[in-house]
Structure 1
């Protein structure tokens, strides 16, 4: 690893840096490509890396299709500590989809009805639903639920907040609603997810 830029799980980054002092360890990256060397920050990040490689070889649509089957996201924004808004194919920064993505992420505790989202996109509700589904390839409701699950995953991984607090801050009706959505989407309860993935804080 001499002189190479690499990443690893946040819990092992300091050890890797001391074992390989000439390597540049990027502790907050999900995956890193340095020439022909690819490294990832753990198991889930390895899936992110695999999807990245799949997109390079076969295009983003194929990677998105695989990601949807895996119930993961094709790209995450930022590092290991940050959750992923990119639950859809890449949207142009000025598109209605991108504007609504930003609005959802900033207002997870809101109602986020079609009317709310259409207003944020400055469109009629009917036209908005059609445009969003065409550009994002999922419904607005699906996007909202995915965003809430991803936000909850981050809180469960990085805090000891009670489940009812996580549920409230991520826009679920209550902890039971969050549990139901987690079971349906991820096949585990929020508590099981936290036990498996939580960082010591």
Structure 2
């Protein structure tokens, strides 16, 4: 029995400035799963930290770890690293030196939200597919090009690594693990207790803008970007965009993609979607009006684009994110 319990140990790493919801969300999901499981199949939940003194979370609440890093037992089921400012804003050299050995002693390992930055600094993401909070995916990809960063999924499983998007996505991660360990029916029961969806619609894409802030630095490409956003209801072609800055269509398209990272038409579509989302969130305008004001031409075309890029219809987006 003791060996079985050790095999099902879930260890959560703690450090100063940890985001507490990254810790408590998954841990509560596993704890609720335990209510439905016989004793010899339950998860054993422990927290580990550099010391067993008080750890101050990013919201100010203090917690105490069960174990010091060196006392974590071998052959655990799962090692999880949560996120927070303490994971991505500061180096934690002792923890980063400890992680590779701890991961080797775990059947699986993972990160919630920005905890993936700690795994990356410990050299544990090479060749793995992973994700993080939508606001940090570009930063992660730039800083650690050896990682295969995916931007849209709520969580990503790649062999023995599982990573999740931001904050409450840690619950989605835990539910996925419960489903793998004990079946989808139990994961659904846990989701019902937590009042969350077993499978969230649309991934991370609906939560963040598709485009970064529009540059206003006066360069040719920036002027086109600003003009598109300021006149989003207009019809555009690549040549029309090029004419705005007296460039040939071919040269403009090549320059635009080099400087922005996407094609002019991809930028245009993303700008239309972002503007439509603002109107769906902040107004009760009919979908036909929103489509016209954002340059989609018809609500049918807007619906098609939303389904392809956002993973839900405009009506579903309004129901989920609108002001009511």
* Fold-level similarity (TM above 0.5): yes
Corresponding residue for residue 102 of structure 1: 226
- Give per-residue Cα distances to partners, 1:17-44, cap 9 Å, x unaligned: xxxxxx9xxxxxxxxxx97599xxxxxx
Q: Which ranges of structure 2 fall in alignment gaps of 5 or more residues?
A: 1-58, 60-83, 89-112, 115-131, 154-202
Aligned to 2:278: 154
Residues 35-93 of structure 1 deviation map (CA, whole Å, 9 limit, x = unaligned): 7599xxxxxxx89x934445555537969x6437777499x7xxxxxx67428xx9683
Deviations 1:121-176 (A, max 9, x none): 33111110110111222111111001101111111111000000000000001111
1:86 corresponding residue in structure 2: 212
- The separation in 1 between residues aligned to 2:266 and 2:140, in whole angstroms, is 28
Equivalent position SS for 2:284: coil
| RMSD between superposed Cα atoms in Å | 4.0
Structure-2 residue corresponding to 1:164: 288
Q: Does 1:134 align with 2:218?
A: no
The equivalent of 1:196 in structure 2 is: 320
**1 or 2, which has the higher helix percentage?**
1
Determine which of 42, 59, 70 is the counterpart of 2:142. Answer: 59
The higher radius of gyration belongs to 2
Match of 1:50 in 2: 133
**Residues 115 and 125, structure 1, Cα contact 8 Å, conserved in 2:** yes
Are 1:108 and 1:169, in contact at CA under 8 Å, matched by a contact in 2? yes
SS in 2 for 1:122: coil
CA distance in 1, matches of 2:212, 2:236: 18
**1:155–1:166 CA contact under 8 A, matched in 2:** yes
Task: State the distance in 2 between where 1:119 and 1:197 align.
Answer: 37
The answer on whether the counterparts of 1:85 and 1:101 sit within 8 Å (CA) in structure 2 is no
Per-residue deviation at 1:186? 1.3
1:184 to 293, 304, 308: 308
> 1:84-137 deviations in whole A, cap 9, x for unaligned?
7428xx968333332221011011111111122112233111110110111222
Q: Which runs of 5+ in 1 are unaligned?
A: 1-22, 24-33, 39-45, 77-82
Q: Report the number of matched residues.
A: 155
